[in-house]
Amino acid sequence: MKLKATLLGAAAILAMAGAAFAERGSDGHVNVLYWQAPSILNPYLSGGTKDLESSSLILEPLAGFDEKGALFPRLATEIPTVENGGLAKDLTSITWKLKPDLKWSDGTPVTSADVKFSYDYCKAPDGGCAQASKYEGIKSVETPDATTVVVTFDAPKPNPYLAFVGATSPIIQKAQFEKCLGAAAPTCTEANNGPIGTGPFKVVSFKTNDTVELEANPNYRDPAKPAFATMTLKGGGDAEAAARAVMETGEFDYAWNTQVNPELQTQMTAGGKGHFVNGFGTLVERIEMNLTDPSSDLPEGERSTVKHPHPILSDINVRKALSMAIDRQALVDVGYGTAGQPTCNLVPAPEAYASDNTGCLKQDMAGAKKLLDDAGWKPGADGIREKDGKKLHILFQTSVNPVRQDFQSLIKSWWTDLGVDVELKSVDASVFFGGDAGSPDTFQKFYADVEMYANNFDGTDPEAYLAGYKCDKIPSPATQWQGENINRFCNADYDKLAAEMSATADIAKRGELAKKMNDMLTKDSMTIVPLVDRGRLSATSNTLGGVVLNVWDSELWNAQDWTRTK
Amino acid sequence: MLTYALRRLLLAIPTLLLISLVIFLLVDLAPGSPMSEIPLTVPPEVRLKMIAAMGADQPVFVRYVLWLRQFFWVEPMHQVDLLFGSHIVEGQQRIISYQTRGPVFTVIGERIPQTLTVIGTAYLVGVLIAVPIGIYSAYRQYSWFDQLGTFIAMLGYSVPTFFTGVLMIVIFAIKLHWFPSIYNTSLKVTDWASLLAQIRQMALPVLVLSLFNAAEISRYTRSSMLENLGQDYVRTARAKGMGEGTVVLKHVLRNSLIPVVTVIALGIPGIFGGAIITENVFKVNGIGAALIGAIHANDLPMVQTLTFIFAVLIVVFNLIADILYGVLDPRIRYD
Amino acid sequence: MLPMLRPRGRTMMLDAPAPALVQVRDLKMYFPIHTGVLRRHTGDVKAVDGVSFDIMAGETLGLVGESGCGKSTVGRALIRLYEPTAGSVRIAGDDILSLAPEALRRKRPEMQMVFQDPQASLNPRMTLAQIIGEPLIEHSGLNPTDRLARIYELMDQTGLNRRFANRYPHEFSGGQRQRIGIARALALNPKFIVCDEPIAALDVSIQAQVVNLLEDLQDRLGLTYLFISHDLSMVRHIADRVAVMYLGRIAELSPRDALYARPLHPYAEALLSAVPEPDPDREGSRQRIILQGDVPSPANPPTGCAFCTRCPKVMEICTTTRPILAEVEPGRQVACHLYPSEARSNQPNSRHAAPSGSTGGGSSQHQQHGV
């Protein structure tokens, strides 16, 4: 994949570069709206998307992902592969070469020491580096010369493109952050809010959670770029107001994440000032089934633990019937419009990893009823199905969010039709996703029968994402309720596949394994019921050229290619 | 008067300490975690390390005492260090926001200008239109002007700003394109054109907020005027043969303004508190927006610091209102 | 109406050629009542319902009656602190009720008022010097030095220590405040002062001081007073003639001594029977007349005589025909069917009857000054 992807990426960049004849700064000013404003421009100190994407204008990694998910070199000369000798055959080390004559925006040269420092910065103890997982399994980072970086891994690393790849692990300037290691990180406010970088823009002023004023980086490696001399990145308000500012008032050229309901999308597009751009990544809205008993009758510490299997959801027929009763297209139409598509996969993309199963797309109420009838779940006097004295009663929780509440009531109506008694519950997002071990309402604790939320994986490789469903990732009191395997799914075969994947480098083989694991979780067991593949929806002005929505990396990944069209 | 003010200030100290503790416990007990806005792609063990780096994993009383020390010692001394180039608290940790990983007071410093400009102007405009309306409404009680004033005041008071704000945006920004819908905090007034731009971007939020403020203050002025218009000394003034202007503006107004000035003074901490809703609607990104953002992000140090500053301001302006009362009304003596 | 009356008064008052300083004719002060959702005008509180009297220059007319009888309203309407509904008031030749606002303002120095509640009637935010000095700035055109001299003069006249000039009203006692009120009223050399219950809010020990001050000032400055009070003993002390009001109308207007010795109107009789006698022997034999029932509402007064619902001597005619105020003995006017008079029999149902002139008042006043 690597060579081909690299070439494709390079070709895409060339094509766009060709379109831009203008010299640097000739197109004046561009206004970008991030309704969730950046709090900090150091992505290592914040995992927030808004912070990562804003900082991607300034800081760059060695390589990034293009809109198709393919790797392309940014600060590196090329993507190291086994073929070009950059990647060791045993996958234990990778050698990156920096482009010659790279300069920071302050004019000093970029060297391999800066790359190594970025690693040291994130690995420093007590720093609370948000991107620490990118640098896991690295034994050492060596700098044989000023432009060469050799990363050595503890063990063969089938996916060596984590460190220094993508907006989540950019290169920061050693000179600027040298004194900010570890616990000292928060004391470097000036550096955190105004990092010196290699990207197309540099920070002029930064107002926390409000505005970043940027100007073209005078030392950007392409002398013709960026076309815009200055940029304002403004925050505040909500998605709808942000969409209006681009689509209706024309005050802004680009607005990030303008997720509004389908009806408003149509209405705003009619304004004629701008258009929505969308792209589909790996974010999947899904229903997770709890395979353990969340009953409040159980003593605290045993609820939702593997000690007690779920009384009804342990029956695969029930899980399957619940999935069959859902009309996924209807959910898309109600909640996302063009920014969503129905899916049956936990890993819907990239192509190499996406399973082809589509069996769930068509609602099959009759089939679902029959399945339950055959499995012995017969409607009781009150219309609720029951078996062995156990009623099909389900507590369905999710976070507070208008679309999710719409989904909840739609799904409830289908399930009620099926003969299932559904009780709905919604929890404030900050609690639901807060991960506070003391709260009974976190999604990890899962004190409900089913729950709905969305999740995705970073970059293009699902290995870690799928490994989250291994038996040892089950949240429990022993792990302070931390862990990704919130369904409490445990299957020795699955664990074996996950182990195999972590030792496999061949892309085709990896794809096969990923699809198999995806199917085990979805189609085969309906432990996870995927609903909607949620795309990104952003708004762009009709006078802004060069916008290519990228769901695999920062949305502002190609801001250097943006131009003003008349 | 001075002894009175000092005594009141001394008494305020334990009150404020108690308030700070209560706020701290309340914010801490509120469900949620500073990690709730971090994407799920960040693995759990990294999250735990991030929480540890913020110090958010410490017991609540340790964090409270640390906050007290930072608020009452490190932050003031930091300002001293900045002013005089001394090194009293060099290297000591200031109050650090969970969201920005930077000092809370830096954020406050960034937010104060637009809050004071927009919310302060709205308050001032509100007062300036409310007082004359209140005076005239009372003087011509039950006239059409008074009835109209009552109606508008009721409207301004009862229609929430998130409705009027959005309505204004739809009419004046989206349909008519007269004013921007988004406030640009980076705009610097350097010439006539930028001044005009500043006025244009302030127009809508100021309009919405001043309507709300004016509604309240005009009602106070009106009722206070009405109360005084019926007083015997007003009849005395008329009997003296004073002109109506003198009677209303000198005798009645001066006495009526005593409670109004107090109400106005008590409203001033609200300016610093910002207008959470209006700031969000117009993206003014002042203190109010910072507070609501911090609450969403469970940024305890920021929420705690901001709310405590509001508490201090409220206590201080209560005292100022009381002192003003004493200054304006010779019948009141603080001894 | 007035031109018709004036010659009549003159012809009868041969020994007093000067017209009365204050002439009140058929003064009416109705306060409208608005009720219902639409605040429709549904009636009137007839606080003053056709009152006429004269006050001679230098005279003190006492105006007595129960609370709510309209006596204070008469005082205020008289100098147009209210806008009366009907009637006419002439003070020193000017028709007060028809003056334009600016002319009225310029007229104010001549007619002043001392208010009942000295605390409430003084602006709490003005010092004594400002309170007394304000009308001087407005009307006298004195320069600051002369003005201060005048303020001190007034303070001396009313027995206020000059050191108090910069104090605020709340720093004074009730008696002192009333002195401020009087000094303020005197500032512009008025001819006529309405004293609206000036002593009601004061301690008994202070009342005499204030009344003596008022009498003293009257002697020195030749003032004319309308002395409104419910304190019959104090009125007896200060007034030359006394008008007794009941439910917005004058029941009897007589020279003081005559009234107190032998009240003619049954209401006046009942009212005066409540006055304690200083002489223990006579106090012992005093027959107190206790009136039954409540005062009717001024919004809905009885037809005929206002007093007919409570009068111990009520007759059939009283409930149907309103008695007009008429002279029944020299100098004594009574509105009562017990005392037939020429005027009354001529105009049985008139509600607009004029009094039979001020002759009696004039003569009695002259008599008293002789005493």
Q: Which band of pLDDT confidence, cut at 50, 70 and 90, is reported for residue B262?
A: confident
Per-domain boundaries in chain A: 10-273+542-564, 279-535
CB contact under 8 Å between B330 and C139, yes or no, is: no
| Interface membership of B324 toward C (CB under 8 Å) | no
Residue that the structure tokens 């921007």 belong to = B180
User: Closest-CA residue in chain A for B277?
Assistant: A237
**Do B76 and B215 reside in the same domain of the chain?**
no
Among the three residues B41, B68, B92, which one is the final residue of a domain in this structure? B92
A489-536: per-residue pLDDT in tens?
A: 999 999 999 999 988 888 889 999 999 999 999 999 999 999 999 988
Q: Does the pLDDT at position B208 exceed 80?
A: yes
ω into A100 cis (within 30 of 0): no
**Do B152 and B246 reside in the same domain of the chain?**
yes
Which residue in C134, C177, C226 has the most chain B C-beta atoms within 10 A of its own C-beta, making it the best mutation to test that interface?
C134
Residue B199 included in any domain: yes
Evaluate whether A25 touches A89 at the Cβ level (below 8 Å): no
Which residue in C91, C123, C194 has the most chain B C-beta atoms within 10 A of its own C-beta, making it the best mutation to test that interface?
C123
Residue B68 is encoded by which pair of tokens?
Answer: 């007290």
The DSSP annotation for A271-290 comes to: TSSEEEEEEEEEEEEEEEEP
**Phi, psi torsion values for A157, nearest 5 degrees:** -120, 100
| Interface membership of B233 toward C (CB under 8 Å) | yes
Indicate left, alpha or beta for B55 from its phi (over 0: left) and psi (-120 to 50: alpha).
left
The topology under which CATH files domain A279-535 is: Dipeptide-binding Protein; domain 3 (3.10.105)
**Do B310 and B229 reside in the same domain of the chain?**
yes
Residue B98 included in any domain: no
Residue A430 has its nearest CB partner, among B32, B46, B289, at B32
Give me Rg for the CA atoms of chain B: 24
Residue B49 has its nearest CB partner, among A132, A210, A457, at A132
A326-382: per-residue pLDDT in tens?
A: 999 999 999 888 889 999 999 998 888 999 888 899 999 999 999 999 999 999 888
ipTM: 0.81
CB contact under 8 Å between C115 and B232, yes or no, is: yes
Residue C315 is encoded by which pair of tokens?
Answer: 């007759």
Query: Which pLDDT value is given to residue B185?
Result: 84
ω into A160 cis (within 30 of 0): no
> What residues of chain C lie within 8 A of the CB of B237, using their CB?
123, 134
Among the three residues B58, B92, B126, which one is the final residue of a domain in this structure? B92
Residue B334 included in any domain: no
Q: Does the pLDDT at position B146 exceed 60?
A: yes
Evaluate whether A352 touches A511 at the Cβ level (below 8 Å): yes
To 5 degrees, how large is the angle CA A402–CA A403–CA A408?
100
Strands of chain B (E only): list them. none
**What is the Cα–Cα distance from B223 to B216, expressed in whole angstroms?**
11
Residue that the structure tokens 């409830």 belong to = A412
Among the three residues B69, B92, B115, which one is the final residue of a domain in this structure? B92
Query: Which pLDDT value is given to residue A398?
Result: 93
**What is the Cα–Cα distance from B281 to B293, expressed in whole angstroms?**
13
Q: What is the pLDDT along chain C (371 residues), one digit of tens a residue?
A: 333 333 333 334 444 456 789 999 999 999 988 887 777 888 888 899 889 999 999 999 999 988 888 889 999 998 888 889 999 999 988 898 888 988 988 888 899 999 888 888 888 888 999 998 888 888 888 888 999 999 999 999 888 899 988 998 888 888 889 889 899 888 888 999 999 988 888 888 888 888 899 999 999 989 999 999 988 888 998 999 999 999 999 999 999 999 998 999 999 999 888 877 767 776 667 677 888 888 888 888 888 888 988 888 888 888 888 898 888 888 899 999 988 765 554 444 434 434 444 443 333 333 333 33
Evaluate whether A214 touches A203 at the Cβ level (below 8 Å): yes
**What is the Cα–Cα distance from A241 to A234, expressed in whole angstroms?**
13
**Do B82 and B226 reside in the same domain of the chain?**
no
Evaluate whether A247 touches A268 at the Cβ level (below 8 Å): yes
Domains A10-273+542-564 and A279-535 share a fold: no
Indicate left, alpha or beta for A396 from its phi (over 0: left) and psi (-120 to 50: alpha).
beta
> What residues of chain A lie within 8 A of the CB of B280, using their CB?
236-238
Residue B335 included in any domain: no
Positive or negative, the CA dihedral B156, B159, B162, B168 is negative
Query: Which pLDDT value is given to residue A460?
Result: 86
Evaluate whether B202 touches A266 at the Cβ level (below 8 Å): no
Q: How far is C119 from chain B (nearest CA, A)?
A: 9
Which of the 8 DSSP states describes residue B71? I
Containing H/E element for A422? strand A421-427
Dihedral over alpha carbons A215, A220, A222, A223 (to 10 degrees): 70
Instruction: Report the 10 Å Cβ neighbour count for A413.
Output: 12
**Do B215 and B184 reside in the same domain of the chain?**
yes
All residues at 6 or more sequence positions from A136 whose CB lies less than 8 Å from its CB, including other chains? A162
The number of angstroms, rounded, from the C-alpha of C140 to the middle of its chain's C-alpha atoms is 27
Query: Which pLDDT value is given to residue A103?
Result: 93
Q: How far is A238 from chain B (nearest CA, A)?
A: 8
**Do B203 and B80 reside in the same domain of the chain?**
no
To 5 degrees, how large is the angle CA C71–CA C73–CA C77?
125
Evaluate whether A306 touches A474 at the Cβ level (below 8 Å): yes
Q: How far is B134 from chain C (nearest CA, A)?
A: 21
Instruction: Report the 10 Å Cβ neighbour count for B17.
Output: 12
CB contact under 8 Å between B101 and A192, yes or no, is: yes
How many beta-carbon pairs under 8 angstroms link A with B? 186
| Interface membership of B89 toward A (CB under 8 Å) | no
Residue A254 is encoded by which pair of tokens?
Answer: 């680009």
**Do B62 and B182 reside in the same domain of the chain?**
no
**What is the Cα–Cα distance from B34 to B295, expressed in whole angstroms?**
10
Helices C128-139, C174-186: axis angle to 10 degrees equals 10
Which of the 8 DSSP states describes residue C317? G
**What is the Cα–Cα distance from C349 to C346, expressed in whole angstroms?**
9
**Do B166 and B252 reside in the same domain of the chain?**
yes
Which chains are adjacent to chain B, needing at least 3 Cβ pairs under 8 Å? A, C
**Do B159 and B307 reside in the same domain of the chain?**
yes
**What is the Cα–Cα distance from C329 to A368, expressed in whole angstroms?**
115
**Do B88 and B108 reside in the same domain of the chain?**
no
Residue that the structure tokens 């009304």 belong to = B329
Q: How far is B300 from chain A (nearest CA, A)?
A: 13
Domain count for chain B: 2
The topology under which CATH files domain A10-273+542-564 is: D-Maltodextrin-Binding Protein; domain 2 (3.40.190)
Which residues in chain A show pLDDT less than 70? 1-22
Where in the sequence is the domain holding B76, given as residue range(s)? Answer: 2-92
> What residues of chain C lie within 8 A of the CB of B238, using their CB?
81
Q: How far is B155 from chain C (nearest CA, A)?
A: 21
**What is the Cα–Cα distance from B291 to B285, expressed in whole angstroms?**
10
B59-90: per-residue pLDDT in tens?
A: 888 999 999 999 998 888 888 888 888 888 77
Query: Which pLDDT value is given to residue B327?
Result: 81
CB contact under 8 Å between A209 and B38, yes or no, is: no
Query: Which pLDDT value is given to residue B298?
Result: 84
**Do B140 and B68 reside in the same domain of the chain?**
no
**Do B19 and B108 reside in the same domain of the chain?**
no
